[in-house]
């Protein structure tokens, strides 16, 4: 498509361009022939402009109709099997279960993790400030419910260290752990967490947690690991220490009670911890010994219990009496405390989404099946709601147990059912034995588990890759240690959002240049060999344009204009910038404030005889500009599909500005013959495809300078 452009940016430019076109048409046989003044007809790809009125009236209706129609079509197209899978995800693996291939692996994995779960659940209950029996309850009912409604086939749910610490932190500030109200509030908290998880799943709001960066989570868990480990020190030292989620009060309490130190629990606890860490290390580093990783907690419990039964040391505290039997149905109480538990409910739900859903998606990818995050969240919520009627405290997916479940070969949710059966057997038959378990052995299990949460490798990685993320990791970690868990998370999330807002308000903007031998335009800082043109500045905005970043973008455009005036480019010699081309392909969205800023920018450029050109806007952005009148204000002829098209047009105008006087004098002296004009036209038609593609060096004659811009005719 051939177009000859006249810039509306100023009266002088329009006049010069018009005269140049008149002169060219009087001296050439056709409009598509080469212009004598050093210009030629520019072939560009036409940009399709959407109808602002039609699109604006039908966009919303068509979008909503599309969503409704897709939903109706999906509902009508679902078979009865798909309906069952929607409400009971367990049916997906049940109907395709391969007994010979899966059964042995599921049984072995379930037995392995079940043996690991029994001592861990009691340890985490003690960490939460509850009696060990509530840890056993929390590892029993939720497993069966999750197996039915959860979509992951390898996730092992139950009590975890981080959730237990959060429960202890909030409830200990309300009531003493020895009070019955403490237990009732923990059960109520499980109900509230389950309800919130189900609401978020039904409303498909799991994406909200994406605003918490991995740096924040890593710093938070690292600090929490230190707090958890120090909170268990009392079982090693033999005396009580202050309950706190801040590291300074914990350290002060440990130091102030040093005169009550007891050697027997310290030696036994240290020995149990050494055994656990050794078995964990061997299980992770040697495949043929990986069963040791799961057997570690059970080994510590068995050795500790055997020692106590044989020697009866008076200075080592024991778990004590544990009720025998399965949990009984009871409705959660103390609803008057709901308001004070809401912040902790939100925090525990966030941890559940980040930890459980993240682990579940990773394991699903490794095992070759798809996982719906919202369905996963719904399964966790139903497990907590149903469990709250059987005296559990908040549960979620465990990283360590899920990893062991996967490594042990779990193929389906049957491994979870085996875990639940083992936990039920422990409640029915083994609780009389559990009362002789040393407290220091359970503390060693907790400490060995949370050591894996200390993510110093992530800190080193962030320091090497991104100092800003390392700063975020450090801030979150230190505030969690010094100010507590809730404040640490809030500060970390706040700083993370501040970084996001700063990046959004100060987007990356690049000056583009043409790569030699091509029609491709790239960042001149990334590609120093890319060259620019005198009188033209090409700018790419790599972000949506909205109210927060319009001022920054305008300031940067002014800076680039000054920088371009000081730099040396190719093309005709001009004293200033005549054209600014905005490459808007990366701009996914533009709001009303940005539209107004674009109007102001156009007027500002117009007052300085500078023409604004737009390249490759997407449909939504172009529609917004059309509805706001910016397309007509700038001129439809200044919207282009490619940057190269815009450069061709702008470069032709710049050349006309510099060569029109010379061309006019040339016309007065001599007029080219008809044969010469036809010869020039054929030469231009022959070289044009090669010139626009950049492949022209081998085709040019010896008297043509290969360094000259292909769009510029040879000066004779």
pLDDT tens by residue, 568-580: 678 778 888 899 9
Tens-digit pLDDT profile for residues 618-629: 989 999 999 999
Fill in the DSSP letter of residue 609: T
- In 3D, which of 406, 426, 429, 431 has the Cα closest to residue 416? 406
- Round to whole Å and give the CA distance between 156 and 116: 11
> Which backbone phi and psi does 130 adopt, to 5 degrees?
-110, 165
More confident residue, 332 or 26: 332
Residue of 293 and 715 predicted with greater confidence: 293
The residue among 110, 151, 145, 142 whose CA lies nearest residue 405 is 110
Coil, strand, or helix at residue 223? helix
Least confident stretch, 61-70, 412-421, 585-594, 678-687? 678-687
CA angle, 572 as apex, 568 and 573 as ends, to 5°? 55
How many residues are there in the chain? 716
**CA–CA dist 221, 219 (Å, integer):** 6
Q: Write the DSSP symbol of residue 49.
A: P
Are 704 and 29 within 8 A, CB to CB? no
Helix (H, G, I), strand (E, B), or coil: what is residue 509? Answer: strand
Q: Which residues contact 178 (CB under 8 A, 6 or more apart)?
A: none
Would you list the DSSP string of 160-198? -HHHHHHHHHHHHTTS-TTSHHHHHHHHHHHHHHHHHHH
Per-residue pLDDT, averaged over 688-694, amounts to 41
Interacting residues of 58 by C-beta distance below 8 A, sequence separation 6+? none
Q: What whole-number distance in Å separates Cα of residue 312 and Cα of residue 321?
A: 16
Q: What is the mean pLDDT of residues 592-604?
A: 92
Q: What confidence category does residue 372 fall into, taking pLDDT thresholds of 50, 70 and 90?
A: confident
pLDDT single digits (tens) 471-524:
999 999 999 999 988 788 889 888 988 888 888 899 999 999 999 989 899 998
Distances (CA, A) of 211 to 350, 361, 493, 500: 11, 18, 8, 9
What is the C-alpha to C-alpha distance for residues 438 and 445, in angstroms, rounded to an integer? Answer: 11
pTM above 0.85, yes or no: no
DSSP H or E run through 269: helix 263-285
- Reading the block at residue 39, the tokens are 């210009």
Lowest mean pLDDT among 217-221, 390-394, 512-516: 217-221
Mean pLDDT across 556-560: 84
Residue 398 has pLDDT above 80, yes or no: yes
pLDDT at 55 over 70: no
CA-wise closest residue to 524 among 509, 535, 542, 503: 509
CA dihedral 301, 302, 305, 308 (to 10 degrees): -120
pLDDT of 33 reads: 32
Among 471, 489, 469, smallest CA distance to 479 is for 489
Is the per-residue pLDDT at 661 higher than 60?
no
- Express each pLDDT in 437-483 by its tens digit: 999 999 999 999 888 888 888 889 999 998 889 999 999 999 999 99
Between 102 and 678, the higher pLDDT residue: 102
Angle at 559 between CA 554 and CA 561, to 5 degrees: 95
In whole angstroms, give the CA distance from residue 288 to residue 477: 36
pLDDT band at 691 (very low <50, low <70, confident <90, very high): very low
- What confidence category does residue 665 fall into, taking pLDDT thresholds of 50, 70 and 90? very low
DSSP β-ladder status, 611-615 and 579-583: parallel
Q: Report d(CA 600, CA 596) in Å as an integer.
A: 6
């Amino acid at each position: 498509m051939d177009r000859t452009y006249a810039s509306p940016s100023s009266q002088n430019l329009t006049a010069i361009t018009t005269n140049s076109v008149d002169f060219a048409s009087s001296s050439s046989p056709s409009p598509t022939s080469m212009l004598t003044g050093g210009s030629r007809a520019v072939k560009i790809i036409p940009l399709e402009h959407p109808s602002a009125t039609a699109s604006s009236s039908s966009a919303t209706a068509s979008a909503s109709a599309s969503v409704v129609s897709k939903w109706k079509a999906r509902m009508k197209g679902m078979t009865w099997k798909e309906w069952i899978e929607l409400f009971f995800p367990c049916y997906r693996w049940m109907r395709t279960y391969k007994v010979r291939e899966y059964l042995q692996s599921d049984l072995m994995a379930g037995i392995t993790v079940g043996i690991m779960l029994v001592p861990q659940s009691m340890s985490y209950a003690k960490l939460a400030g509850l009696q060990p029996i509530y840890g056993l309850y929390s590892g029993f009912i939720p497993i069966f419910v999750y197996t039915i409604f959860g979509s992951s086939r390898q996730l092992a749910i139950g009590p975890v260290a981080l959730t237990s610490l959060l429960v202890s932190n909030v409830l200990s500030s309300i009531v003493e752990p020895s009070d019955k109200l403490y237990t009732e509030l923990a059960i109520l908290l499980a109900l509230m967490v389950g309800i919130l998880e189900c609401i978020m799943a039904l409303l498909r709001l799991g994406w909200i947690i994406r605003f918490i960066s991995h740096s924040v989570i890593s710093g938070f868990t690292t600090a929490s690991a230190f707090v958890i480990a120090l909170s268990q020190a009392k079982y090693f030292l033999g005396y009580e220490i202050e309950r706190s989620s801040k590291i300074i009060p914990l350290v002060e309490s440990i130091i102030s009670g040093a005169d009550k130190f007891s050697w027997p629990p310290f030696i036994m606890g240290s020995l149990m911890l050494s055994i656990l860490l050794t078995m964990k290390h061997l299980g992770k580093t040697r495949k043929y010994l990986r069963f040791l990783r799961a057997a570690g907690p059970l080994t510590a419990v068995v050795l500790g219990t055997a020692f106590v039964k044989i020697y009866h040391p008076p200075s080592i505290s024991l778990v004590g009496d544990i009720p025998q039997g399965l949990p009984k149905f009871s409705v959660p109480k103390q609803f008057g405390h709901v308001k004070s538990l809401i912040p902790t409910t939100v925090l525990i739900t966030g941890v559940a989404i980040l930890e459980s859903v993240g682990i579940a998606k990773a394991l699903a990818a490794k095992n070759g099946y798809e996982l719906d995050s919202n369905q996963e969240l719904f399964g966790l919520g139903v497990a907590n709601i149903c469990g709250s009627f059987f005296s559990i405290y908040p549960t979620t997916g465990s990283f360590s147990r899920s990893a062991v479940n996967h490594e042990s070969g779990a193929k389906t949710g049957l491994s979870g059912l085996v875990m639940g059966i083992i936990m039920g057997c422990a409640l029915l038959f083994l609780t009389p034995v559990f009362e002789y378990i040393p407290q220091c052995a359970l503390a060693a299990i907790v400490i060995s588990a949370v050591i894996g949460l200390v993510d110093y490798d992530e800190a080193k990685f962030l320091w090497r890759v991104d100092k800003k993320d390392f700063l975020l990791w450090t801030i979150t970690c230190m505030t969690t240690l010094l100010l507590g868990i809730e404040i640490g998370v809030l500060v970390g999330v706040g700083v993370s959002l501040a970084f996001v807002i700063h990046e959004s308000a100060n987007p990356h903007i690049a000056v583009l240049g043409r790569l030699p031998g091509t029609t491709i335009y790239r960042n001149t800082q990334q590609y120093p060999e890319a060259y620019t043109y005198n009188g033209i500045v090409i700018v790419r905005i790599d972000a949506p344009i909205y109210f927060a970043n319009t001022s920054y973008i305008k300031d940067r455009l002014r800076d680039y204009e000054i920088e371009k005036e000081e730099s040396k480019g190719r093309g005709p010699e001009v004293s200033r910038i005549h054209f600014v081309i905005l490459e808007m392909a990366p701009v996914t969205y533009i709001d009303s404030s940005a539209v107004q800023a674009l109007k102001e920018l156009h007027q500002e450029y117009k007052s300085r005889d500078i023409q604004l050109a737009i390249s490759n806007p997407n449909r939504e952005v172009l529609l917004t500009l059309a509805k706001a009148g910016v397309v007509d204000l700038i001129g439809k002829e200044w919207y282009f599909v490619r940057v190269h098209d815009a450069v061709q047009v702008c470069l032709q105008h710049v050349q006309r500005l510099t060569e029109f006087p010379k061309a006019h004098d040339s016309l007065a002296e001599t007029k080219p013959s008809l044969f010469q004009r036809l010869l020039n036209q054929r030469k231009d038609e022959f070289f044009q495809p090669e010139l626009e593609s950049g492949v022209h060096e081998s085709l040019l004659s010896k008297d043509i300078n290969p360094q000259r811009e292909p769009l510029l005719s040879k000066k004779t």
